[in-house]
């Protein structure tokens, strides 16, 4: 079955930095959170999404900081992002830096990313979880805060926030958001959004060096490609199926054609990795279904259509087989969690 790329182990370092900035002992935190700090010695190691979310939650409790993710994002520096950070620092403009961030973010994390669109005189940044669903509160606030404060540090200018939305509900104290962003966000929204003036996209990066940009981007590209090539074949098929949805749900024949092989060759290759086309297709549908149901944006009948089931009853039967629950029961459970 497919592997979870998750987060680069280096993404634990910002947690360490945030904990130490409060004068607390990181090793004590590791013991309390049951995290093996020896993992940090392996620069190539990665940990899954659930583990990084757990560590962020544990860090919030350890530091007694209900806004841990937000504050960690404020501390983020280009050095925390490794080669990606240095690629950003030597980009010509903010737009170029964010383009690199989106292009190479997989080096740090495969589970989330951002995109944007122009709306009048503003640019609307959207933060999302790959494959659907919601990021946990601390991880989302860390990402939004990191991106915003990196923009400010890279261009060394005041950057006004025109709109800020989070998908989670408002915490008891919203004052820290005003301090971090200059505005109080709207909470409980369908999307996590950060809107800035369009002119910000053209702000030059203060220390940009084209030669260094080329050097670091080459390293970033190589790292990204090595990570991609390092995936087992089933991961590549899974990712391709995900990218096709919900526009279309490819058949076995179409999938094999996309990978330049016969149906038999594709099935044999997948079998050698302990899976099959039908199993991968089911996992794709299951993960997307869980994301759609948790968000609550679509009716169950609409989700069945988005997942290319012949009718809602077929989706109902498949989902119960996957999870032991009906789609309605799963949605109710997820809504109670976000309560």
Angle at which helices 94-104 and 137-155 cross, to 10°: 140
Residue pointed to by tokens 């950057």: 159
- The secondary structure element, H or E, covering residue 197 is strand 192-197
Beta bridge partners of 163: 195
pLDDT score recorded for residue 229: 62
- Are 123 and 18 within 8 A, CB to CB? no
Token pair belonging to 291? 């994301």
pLDDT in tens, 238-249: 888 888 888 889
Residues whose CB falls within 8 Å of the CB of residue 249, separated by 6 or more in sequence, listed in order: 241, 281, 285, 307, 308
pLDDT for 242: 85
Under 8 Å between Cβ of 140 and 127: yes
Q: Three-class SS of residue 6?
A: coil
**C-alpha distance from residue 11 to each of 79, 197, 332 (Å):** 11, 29, 33
**Virtual torsion, Cα 146, 148, 149, 150, nearest 10 deg:** 80
In whole angstroms, give the CA distance from residue 265 to residue 139.
40
Helix (H) or strand (E) holding 111: none
Q: What is the pLDDT of residue 223?
A: 83
Among residues 194, 154, 191, 157, the alpha carbon closest in space to that of 70 is found at 194
The Cα–Cα gap between 90 and 70 comes to: 26
Q: Judge if pTM exceeds 0.95.
A: no
Q: Residues in the chain with pLDDT < 50?
A: 1-4
- Burial (CB < 10 A; 0-12, 13-18, 19+), residue 42, is exposed
The number of C-alpha atoms within 13 Å of 186 and in the hemisphere containing its C-beta is 12
What is d(CA 39, CA 92) in angstroms, rounded to the nearest whole number? 36
The pLDDT value recorded for residue 1 is 41
Cα gap 74→4, rounded to integer Å: 28
Give the DSSP H or E segment for 225.
helix 210-229
What is the DSSP-derived secondary structure letter of residue 202?
G
Q: What number of CA atoms fall less than 13 Å from residue 285's CA on the CB side?
A: 27
The pLDDT value recorded for residue 230 is 58
pLDDT tens digits for range 20-61? 999 999 999 999 999 988 888 877 777 888 899 999 999 999
């Amino acid at each position: 079955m497919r592997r979870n790329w998750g987060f680069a182990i280096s993404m634990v370092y910002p947690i360490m930095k945030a904990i130490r900035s409060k004068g607390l002992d990181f090793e004590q935190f590791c013991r309390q959170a049951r995290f093996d700090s020896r993992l940090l010695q392996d620069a190539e190691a990665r940990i899954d999404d659930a583990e990084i979310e757990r560590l962020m939650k544990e860090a919030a409790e350890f530091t007694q900081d209900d806004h841990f993710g937000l504050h960690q994002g404020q501390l983020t520096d280009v050095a925390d992002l490794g080669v990606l950070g240095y690629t950003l620092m030597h980009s010509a403009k903010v737009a170029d830096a964010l383009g690199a961030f989106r292009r190479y973010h997989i080096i740090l994390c495969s589970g989330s990313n951002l995109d944007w669109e122009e709306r009048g005189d503003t640019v609307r940044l959207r933060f999302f979880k790959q494959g659907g669903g919601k990021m946990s509160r601390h991880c989302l606030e860390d990402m939004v805060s990191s991106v915003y404060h990196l923009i400010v540090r890279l261009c060394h200018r005041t950057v006004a926030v025109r709109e800020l939305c989070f998908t989670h509900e408002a915490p008891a104290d919203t004052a820290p958001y005003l301090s971090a962003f200059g505005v109080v966000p709207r909470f409980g929204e369908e999307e996590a959004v950060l809107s800035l003036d369009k002119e910000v996209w053209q702000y030059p990066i203060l220390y940009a060096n084209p030669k260094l940009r080329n050097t670091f981007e080459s390293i970033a590209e190589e790292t990204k490609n090595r990570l991609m090539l390092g995936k087992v074949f089933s991961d590549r098929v899974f990712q391709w199926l995900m990218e096709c949805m919900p526009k279309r749900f490819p058949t076995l024949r179409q999938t094999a054609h996309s990978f330049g092989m016969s149906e038999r060759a594709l099935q044999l290759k997948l079998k050698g990795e302990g899976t099959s086309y039908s199993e991968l297709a089911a996992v794709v549908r299951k993960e997307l279904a869980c994301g759609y149901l948790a968000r609550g944006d679509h009716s169950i009948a609409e989700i069945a259509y988005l997942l290319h089931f012949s009718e809602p009853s077929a989706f109902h039967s498949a989902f119960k087989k996957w999870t032991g629950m009906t789609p309605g029961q799963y949605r109710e459970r997820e809504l109670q969690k976000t309560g």
